Amino acid sequence: MSTPNTSPTTVETDRTRRDGWAGANGSRPAVLELHDVTKTYGSDPPVAALRGVSLTVAQGELVAIVGPSGSGKTTLLHIIGTLDQPSSGTVRIDGVDVAGLDDRQLAALRARSIGFVFQQFFLAEHQTVLDNVADGLLYGGAPVGERRELAAGALTAVGLADRQHARPTHMSGGQRQRIAIARALVGMPAIVLADEPTGNLDSVTGAQILALLKQLNEQGATIIVITHDRGIADQLPRQVQMRDGQIVSDTASNQQPAVVANSVGGNATEARR
């Protein structure tokens, strides 16, 4: 398991990040592997939110998971983010099968390997921008000076180098989302999970955030964007389309769709073998 470079002399965070993210350039290991994942809620009656989802995302990809309301996106996000467990199937994050981990180990894996970006930003309003981002490194136990140094680098990467000492309160939605993205990226996680990252932004600002995500991906970050918006998904290099708890298409050249859009209800597991 690679750990972030936390050397206090590491100020060239862009280069550090590239090295950390793209070190295995060429071999492209899988950072996410879902195998035949199902999720059923409740029992009276049971709701099958995911019905046999298999998905592999390699290091360095930028993937949109797109589907209408109720198709299972949030459920899938929770399972990829290790915030919830599947009813059946396998989830591997950065090579680790999460089924074998206890709560403490899961929390450690999550802190180390997954960066979250949410529609609602979730910033600490009373803290400086710099400390909001530095908090993304709290789990690693690095001293505050080191966390702030890395946070400053991440803020530069999202175009907010000059706002480090401001507080989020009076900043625009686009700036707030940039802070959240810097916080997600600062620990060089294996996967950045962005849940409707432009959902609270006007279209111009949303386009800028999407452009930023693409730029960070070009620098090596692996990013999964979850969206209901076809227009957003279409701008990303790979689109995984969900409907009724299944993947109905995947533009990745190495993966055939599990089922075709018009034949939902077929045996997805069988179709994938």
Please, what is the minimum distance in Å from the beta carbon of residue 249 to ligand ADP? 15
Does 235 contact Mg ion by CB under 5 A? no
Does 63 contact ligand ADP by CB under 6 A? no
Distance between CA atoms of residues 139 and 65, nearest Å: 28
Give first-to-last CA distance, the chain, whole Å: 30
> Judged by CB under 6 A, which of 31, 32, 37, 49 binds ligand ADP?
49
Q: Is the dihedral of CA 155, 160, 163, 169 positive or negative?
A: negative
Site mask, ligand ADP, residues 80-119, x = CB under 6 A? ----------------------------------------
> Judged by CB under 6 A, which of 35, 51, 73, 112 binds ligand ADP?
73
Strands 238-243 and 246-250: antiparallel
By the 10 Å C-beta count (0-12 exposed, 13-18 middle, 19+ buried), 177 is classed as buried
Please, what is the minimum distance in Å from the beta carbon of residue 140 to ligand ADP? 31
> Which residues ranging from 61 to 90 are in contact with Mg ion (CB under 5 A)?
73-74
Burial 243-265 (b: 16+ CB within 10 A, else e): bbbbbbbbbbeebebbbeeeeee
- Among ligand ADP, Mg ion, none, residue 89 binds (CB under 5-8 Å by kind): none
Is 178 within 8 Å of 198 (Cβ atoms)? no
Distance between CA atoms of residues 25 and 48, nearest Å: 38
In this chain, which stretch among 65-73, 177-185, 209-217, 229-237 interacts with ligand ADP, using CB under 6 A? Answer: 65-73
> Judged by CB under 6 A, which of 52, 60, 72, 153 binds ligand ADP?
72
- Among ligand ADP, Mg ion, none, residue 70 binds (CB under 5-8 Å by kind): ligand ADP
Is 158 within 8 Å of 170 (Cβ atoms)? no
Does 40 contact Mg ion by CB under 5 A? no
Residues that bind ligand ADP (CB under 6 A): 41-42, 47, 49, 67, 69-75
